[in-house]
Amino acid sequence: MLRRAPVVPVLTIDDPHTAVPLAQALVAGGLPALEITLRTDAALDAMEQIAQHVPDAIVGAGTVLTPSQVGEATSAGAQFLVSPGCTTKLAEAAARGSTPLLPGASTASEAMTLAEMGYHLMKFFPAEPAGGAAFLKALGAPLPQIQFCPTGGIDAEKAKTYLALPNVICVGGSWIAPASAVKAGDWSAITALSRAAAALRA
Ligand SMILES: O=C[C@H](O)COP(=O)(O)O
Ligand SMILES: CC(=O)C(=O)O
């Protein structure tokens, strides 16, 4: 699912009424995989609406921190789960279910621990503060079998640098859906940002 496009929009939705037009705008621009963070009361409702009304979207849940959120997000229609890190309890809950988890790592030891659990695709979070593309490039030398979706502090320009790395399959970010455009209902601006992001990897 994450290989379908170079960028995964990370969306924190306050108003559930914006969920469907926002998802439609992003999908229209060429970004089908969407991460809805579980940071707002509207998140589960937003996911359900996107799952029901935007068939071309691949809706995922972000900020999945607890075992109970694994079940809640899956029931709301999440096709993938994303966490900024990982714990044993979270990994066990994900293993009991059938919705794939993208766990987070930001050090060599965290990445190695997740690889021991069987994960070979993980989020690199928070990408920019944790060392950016230079860090991830260096990590790829001893750990070439691990692939990453870096997220955190990335914009269109920085995304290009990450996407050129052999251990990056896609990047996550919120720059494709600025809060001001969502608030204004400027869906064509969001489709334009989405289209530009979808073209980042030729
Ligand atoms: O917590 C941050 C999100 O995962 C990504 O947001 P950002 O692209 O605004 O850094
Ligand atoms: C930031 C992050 O990894 C998440 O919200 O899932």
What ipTM does the predicted assembly reach? Answer: 0.91
Question: For domain 7-198, is the CATH number 3.20.20.70?
Answer: yes
What number does the ligand 2 atom closest to the CA of 123 have?
A: 3
pLDDT at 202 (0 to 100)? 58
Question: 138 CA distance to ligand 2 centroid (A)?
Answer: 23
- Residues lining ligand 2, Cβ inside 6 A: 37, 62-63, 82-84, 104, 123, 125, 151
Q: Structure tokens of 177?
A: 């859906």
Distances in Å between the alpha carbon of 160 and those of 1, 7, 63, 77, 150? 20, 10, 25, 31, 12
pLDDT at 159 (0 to 100)? 98
Q: Where are the domains of the chain?
A: 7-198
Model-level pTM greater than 0.90?
A: yes
| Average pLDDT estimate for 47-70 | 98
Degrees, nearest 5: CA angle 43-49-53: 150
Residue 35 falls in the annotated catalytic set: yes
Assign residue 131 a region: left if phi > 0, alpha if psi is -120 to 50, beta otherwise?
Answer: left
Task: List the residue whose alpha carbon is closest to atom 3 of ligand 2.
Answer: 84
The answer to whether 185 touches 22, Cβ cutoff 8 Å, is no
Compute, in degrees rounded to 10, the torsion defined by CA atoms 65, 68, 71, 75: -100
Question: 90 CA distance to ligand 2 centroid (A)?
Answer: 14
